Structure formats: C-alpha cells, structure tokens
Structure 1
Amino acid sequence: MYANTVAAYARGVTDFAAFCRRQGVDPIDVRRGIIAAYLADLHARPPGGGCAGRVCNLTALAPQPSNASLRHRLTIIRLFYDYLVEEGVRTTNPVARGRRGKLGGGSQRGERGLIPVHHVLPWIPSEAQWKSILTAARTEPIRNRLMLALAYDCALRREELCALDTSDFDPAHRLVTIRAETTKTKAGRVVPYSAVTGELLAAYLPARRTLSRTRGPLFLSTSPRNRAMPISKWTWSKVVYALGCCAGEPKLGTHTMRHLCLTDLARVGWDIHEIARFAGHRSIQSTLLYIHLSARDLSAKFAATAAELHEARLASIAELQL
C-alpha cells in the first residue's frame, strides 16, 4: 500500500511539473495563479480509459474528475511545496489552506481552500440499472464474470479482489479468506460467497489451468504481452469502465459492487456491526458512509413506522387550511 501511495504522489508531482513546463514557468517559482490554472486544466481533461474495442457511444458522458480526486492532487502539490519551504528553497507555500477560526462570542469564521469539501453520496444502481449491467456482463469472459460476482458477493475492494489466491478459497463451505496484507486496514477476514459465484469459480478454474497449472494468484492475464501474469488493479478498472459503458451505465466503478452489497445487507436488516465486520471496517463511522438506502426504502420505512405520528402532529395545519 505504501509503495502505491509513493508512486501516486510521484505521478502527481511529475504531472504538475509537466504542466508548469507547458506554461513556461519554473515549478520552484510558482504563484497561486498557476495552481488555480492547474486545477482548471485537471478538471477540463477528458477521463481516461476506453471501451477496450467494444462499440460504445457513451465515452462523452463519462464523468469529469471528482471533487475528491482534485483535492487529492492538490494535497500532493501542497506537500511538495511544504517540503521546499522546509528545505529553505521557498519562503511560502503557494497552495492555500482552508482554515477555521473563532470570532468573539464563539462564532465561527472560516477561510476556504481552493477546492471546497464535498461529501457526495456514491452512486448505487437501481434494480433496472443492475439488470442492465448483468446483461452486458453475460458476454464477458468467465474470469471477468467471476470477478464481478466476487466483488459484489464479498464486498471486495479492488486491491483485495485482484490479490485473491487459489489457496484463499474453501469451496466445500463457500468461504474465502481476505488476507490481512491485501486489505486497506491490514486486518484479515473470512466471508462467504453465494452458490452462483461458486458455479462461476468451478467454471473458471479449468480456464485458468490453460494459463498456469501452478497454485498462486487466482486471476491471470490473457493478454499476449502479460500472459499468465497476475491481473493488475488497473486492468480490472478498465474492464469495469468498459462494462459500464456498454451497459449504458458509465457511472459504474470498481467500488460500486462493494457499495451495492453493503447497502443490500442493510436493506435486509443486517446490524451495523455485522456489516462492519463483513466489510472489514475498523470504525462504525466508516461503515455508515457505505450505507445509503434509496428513497424508496426510506418511504416504505416511513409509511410503516412514523406516518401516523407525523399526520397527528400536522393535523392542526390541515385544519387551518380548511
């Protein structure tokens, strides 16, 4: 995980330096105007990826960089200039920070950063949208269908899914072990998977043996360039992006199946602590971020529990209107 973080930060700094060169500015001498121009450039860039040779007319509808992505890139640049200030190369950091302060009487006064914080709810596909995704997945290779099924069944993160090993599975009890070293929290867990996913696993293993007969990483590349090598998380991202385009759902991402699974568990009445253990969360607060019941679910719950109470409390308003 730390190596991936370092690599991501290095890519961010390299990209910013390339932008500065295109602007004819030395990165050491950058002022706030260049930082703002860089953020505008990031926002205007077309999204990466493609449809991997499939017929797709939805590329233009793909989302622009998210608020979180822009804030992450800005954090990379801020830390870069923090380092330059610490080393005495610069006297100030051109990346403005948001600050909170208090005025007299305890009132709050804040200074906004370049990018405001948005807490956007993740996209959860409806029943019709999920059906479209599954219909499009029917034409995918057996490996991709199994990966999609496991991502949903076990609420797996992208890294956890791609790191699965043949020895992680207990087919007799339909259990899979998520090893600690592959998880975000460095805490392992054992989760079940459905009979349908078990059938896909049984169908995939013979196909895998045509690539390698040795035990090890479960999901192998079929590309001539990387044949029989473990599939990378970037390859899985491209597969999911292409699948979403061809299903008419360009919002589909590698984390969508995890969101949908955890939300479905809440819909059928799982306790929040049970969902947290299933998801591998250390904090209940983390779990709450993944539970986004639809308006239909909330309407049904309201009708079953609180509708009469609310009607009684608002009855006087109705009488005044009459």
Structure 2
Amino acid sequence: MFARHEQATAWLSVWTDLGRAPRTIDAYGRGLAEYLLMCEREGIDPVAANRAHIAVYVRELTSRPHRRGGNVISIDSGSGLANATIQQRLVPVRLFYDFLMEEGLRESNPVGRGRYTPGRRAGGQQRGLVPRLTKLPWIPGEQEWLHILEVARQEPIRNRVMLALAYDAALRREELCSLRTDDLDPAHRTLRVRAETTKNRLERVVPYSASTGVLMSAYLAHRATISRARGPLFLSESRRNYAQPLSLWTWSKVVRRIAVTADVPRFSTHTTRHLCLTDLARMGWELHMIASFAGHRHTDSTLQYIHLSGRDLADKLARGMEHIHAWRIQALTSPNAASAEVSR
C-alpha cells in the first residue's frame, strides 16, 4: 500500500525517525492505510483531496459494522464504529495532511481540528470534523469488585501482585508490564515508573501499600526460582516463553479471564487505574496531587478519569438539602428570623 504512495511513506519515516513508539507507528500506518485504500476505491488523489472527500471517509467509518458486533456512534444508529475509534482513525489522516502542508504540497488541511476561536459562542470552542464524545470511565460497584477479588485470590502469586500494583500505583498496562527489578525500592515501598514506559514520557515515583509489599516479597522469592537475573520484574512461566518478560497481550488475557470468570465483563487492565484515581478523589485528595500521582501532564486529563459515584453525589446532595431544610423550618417557625431574612 505505502509503496504506491511516496508521500505517505515519507511521512511515516519521519515519525519513525523521531523515535515514536513502535505501537504508535503501527497504529498510524494502519490508520492511514485504511484511508488510502478508500481513496483508491473512490478514485481520489489523496494529495489533492478536499473536505468532501474526507466526509466520504467519515461516512464509511460511521456505517461500518464493528468486528466485535453492533456498536453505536449515536443513540439511534445501531451501527458504525465507536466515536473514540473514529477519532483514532482520523488522527493519522490529519497528521498526514499537516505533513503535506509543511512540505508545501497543500495550503490547507481538509481534516481540520477543534480549536479555540476568540469571539465564538459556547466558550469559543470550534467543533472538530466529528464531534468528540467524552464518556466517564467505568468502575465496578462494590459487589462486582468482591466478585473480582474472589476470582483473583485463586490466581498465581505473579498475577495477584500485578493486580495489587496496578491498583495501588494506578499503573497503565504498559507501565506495569515494563517494571524492572531495579525500579523497586522495598525499604520505602515505592516504585519508579520510567519515562520511556509512560504514555506522556513523564517519570514518576509512586508508593504501594504494606499488604502489596507482603505479596511482592512472596513473588520475588518465587521469581528467584525462575530466574535470578536482574531485569524485567514479571516473567512468563509458560513452556514456550519460560523466564521471558511477560508481554502486554499475556497480561490482557489474564485480566480478561478474571473478568469472564467473575462475570464482570467490563473489567479490563485499565479499570484498576480508574478505580484508584476515583478512590483518591473520594478520600479528598486535591486535583493536582491526583494528577501528579497518575502521571498526567494536565489536570484536564485527570478530570476525565475521576468521577464520584451516584451514592457520593447523593450524600453531598442530602447534606446540602439538610442545611436548606433546617433553614426553611427555622424561618417557618420563627417569625423574627423570617422577617430578618426578608429585610436583607
């Protein structure tokens, strides 16, 4: 595909030379390849494509059946890729046209992006090509969490300590699987999340609990029976990859098995991170502290992860209403209080 499109090959080479992660390069390549295939089917020159041609691609994405079954792009559509998936497909196309503009092959980007424009209504925010839907992260309820813990107790020591760390330190999947033995500081119960393993290349040091420390000690003793070499913390114990670093996909399969067994299908490798950050908010941590703990560059990202449960909101509402109710009762039963309030 890219052999037939010189500019696309050059664009992808630039990103590779800039040191982007292999998975990012792969995602960009696959996303742009889909767009180029559409251009070939429709007889469109991708270099000269306009906004109408991009609209054809968007229409195709919104009507394409999802490979995992029916998904919705709007409440009543019943088909098409999810909104987040469509946004991901458009990112490499937008970046490709940015590259063509920099090379002097185009004067404008047909994809465009949402941007702030002074003087516009609704806070000056101009809508992007496809409206972005922002959904609150899902976290399990108390009963669902108990089911997950019940299943997790039957897992090998490695999987249990990984789940504990994933929650304790709010780790992303890649951060967890990339931990090395020298990232641990058992004396202070902290671990270092190296910049090269994070999403935004921000290194941080985070603590873990005493109970997780007990699990960690047991796992390190177990790990020594597999390999005494320093290096990746979590090792595979399968016959095919014995003593090799545990892959992201293997960990995803472990979590998926736990989710299915516990009958909590929405539980994923990212759920523990959501739950930890939400629990920190419930405990009264300030927003910037949670952002630092999570490794977010901006607090706007933190707000997307943190949401209080309906019960928490109900408690806040009840306390507020109790105060209002008390004032109204006092005003009704004390004429002097009511007249004083009116005279203000």
What TM-score comes out, normalization by structure 2 length?
A: 0.72
Alignment RMSD, CA only?
3.5
In structure 2, what is the Cα distance between the partners aligned to 1:65 and 1:235?
26
Deviation at 1:275, TM superposition (A): 2.4
Residue 324 of structure 2 is aligned with which of 290, 310, 321?
A: 310
Q: In structure 2, give the amino acid aligned to 1:197.
A: T
Matched residue, 1:77: 93
Deviation at 1:217, TM superposition (A): 0.7
Q: Closer, same or farther in 2 for the Cα pair 1:301/1:220, shift >3 Å?
A: same
| Residues 35, 95 of structure 1: 8 Å contact kept | no
Structure 1 residues 116-144: Cα deviation after superposition (integer angstroms, max 9, x where no partner): 11121100111111112222223333222
Matched residue, 1:67: 83
Q: Does 1:252 align with 2:274?
A: no
In structure 2, what is the Cα distance between the partners aligned to 1:16 and 1:236?
32
Q: Does 1:154 align with 2:146?
A: no
| Residues 235, 243 of structure 2: 8 Å contact kept | yes
Matched residue, 1:189: 204
Matches within 5 A, 1:199-210: 199-210=214-225
Matched residue, 1:2: 20
In structure 1, what is the Cα distance between the partners aligned to 2:33 and 2:196?
29
Secondary structure of the structure 1 residue equivalent to 2:21: helix
Matched residue, 1:46: 67
Deviation at 1:307, TM superposition (A): 1.5
In structure 2, what is the Cα distance between the partners aligned to 1:273 and 1:124?
21
Secondary structure of the structure 1 residue equivalent to 2:269: coil
| Residues 17, 27 of structure 1: 8 Å contact kept | no
Residue 212 of structure 1 is aligned with which of 216, 227, 244?
A: 227
Q: In structure 2, give the amino acid aligned to 1:3.
A: A
Range moving further from structure 2, 24-33 or 155-164: 24-33
| Residues 16, 38 of structure 1: 8 Å contact kept | no
Deviation at 1:197, TM superposition (A): 1.6
Secondary structure of the structure 1 residue equivalent to 2:226: coil
Matched residue, 1:163: 178
Q: In structure 2, give the amino acid aligned to 1:68.
A: A
Q: Closer, same or farther in 2 for the Cα pair 1:18/1:187, shift >3 Å?
A: same
Secondary structure of the structure 2 residue equivalent to 1:289: helix
Matched residue, 1:35: 57
Q: Closer, same or farther in 2 for the Cα pair 1:110/1:293, shift >3 Å?
A: closer
In structure 1, what is the Cα distance between the partners aligned to 2:195 and 2:118?
43
Deviation at 1:110, TM superposition (A): 8.1
Matched residue, 1:118: 133
Structure 1 residues 281-309: Cα deviation after superposition (integer angstroms, max 9, x where no partner): 343333333221101012122323x1134
Q: Relative contact order, CA 8 A, sep 6+: which one is greater?
A: 1
Matched residue, 1:233: 248
Matched residue, 1:53: none
Q: Closer, same or farther in 2 for the Cα pair 1:160/1:303, shift >3 Å?
A: same
Deviation at 1:171, TM superposition (A): 2.3
Matched residue, 2:295: 280
| Residues 35, 94 of structure 1: 8 Å contact kept | no
Matches within 5 A, 1:124-135: 124-135=139-150
| Residues 123, 256 of structure 1: 8 Å contact kept | yes
Matched residue, 1:13: 32
Q: In structure 1, give the amino acid aligned to 2:168.
A: D
In structure 2, what is the Cα distance between the partners aligned to 1:235 and 1:128?
27
Q: In structure 1, give the amino acid aligned to 2:209.
A: S
Deviation at 1:260, TM superposition (A): 0.6
Q: Closer, same or farther in 2 for the Cα pair 1:146/1:36, shift >3 Å?
A: same
In structure 2, what is the Cα distance between the partners aligned to 1:202 and 1:77?
48
Q: In structure 2, give the amino acid aligned to 1:286.
A: S
Q: In structure 1, give the amino acid aligned to 2:325.
A: E
Larger radius of gyration: 2
Gaps of 5+ in 1: 48-58
| Residues 296, 302 of structure 2: 8 Å contact kept | yes
Deviation at 1:258, TM superposition (A): 1.0
Secondary structure of the structure 2 residue equivalent to 1:2: coil
Deviation at 1:44, TM superposition (A): 2.1
